[in-house]
Structure 1
Amino acid sequence: MSSQDIPEENLPAARDTGHGAVKVADEEHPFADPGLPPHEHRVQDIDERAAKRSERTVALLFTLSMLATIGFIASFVAIPVEKIVYIFPLGHVSALNVALGVTLGVALFAIGAGAVHWARTLMSDEELTDERHPIEAPSEVRSKIMDDFRQGAKESQLGRRKLIRTTMFGALTLVPLSGVVLLRELGPLPENKLRHTLWSKGKLLVNMNTDEPLRPSDLITGSLTFAKPEGLEEHDHGFQNEIAKAALMLVRIRPDDIKDKRTMEWGHEGILAYSKICTHVGCPVSLYEQQTHHVLCPCHQSTFDLADGARVIFGPAGHPLPQLRIGVNDEGYLEALGDFDEPVGPAFWERG
Structure 2
Amino acid sequence: MGDHNHGDPTTSDSVAKAGQGQVEKFQDPGLPPHRPRLADKDPRAANRAERQVAVLLTISVIGTLLFFFGYFAIPLDESTTISTLRLQNVLLGMGTAFAMLGIGVGVVHWAKTLMPDHEIAEERHAVRTEEDRQIAETMVSEIISESGIKRRRLIRYTLIGAGVLAILPPIGILRDLSKNLDPAVLGHTLWKEGTRLARDPEGTPIKAADVTFGSAFHVIPEGLNELHEGKLDEKAKSVVLLMRLNPEDLHPSPGREDWAYNGIVAYSKICTHVGCPVALYEQQTHHLLCPCHQSTFDVTQQCKVIFGPASRALPQLPITVNSEGYLVARSDFHEPVGPSFWERALLEKESGR
What is the TM-score of this pair, normalised by structure 1? 0.50
RCO higher in structure (CA 8 A, sep ≥6): 2
- TM-score of the superposed pair, with normalisation by structure 2: 0.50
Larger Rg: 1
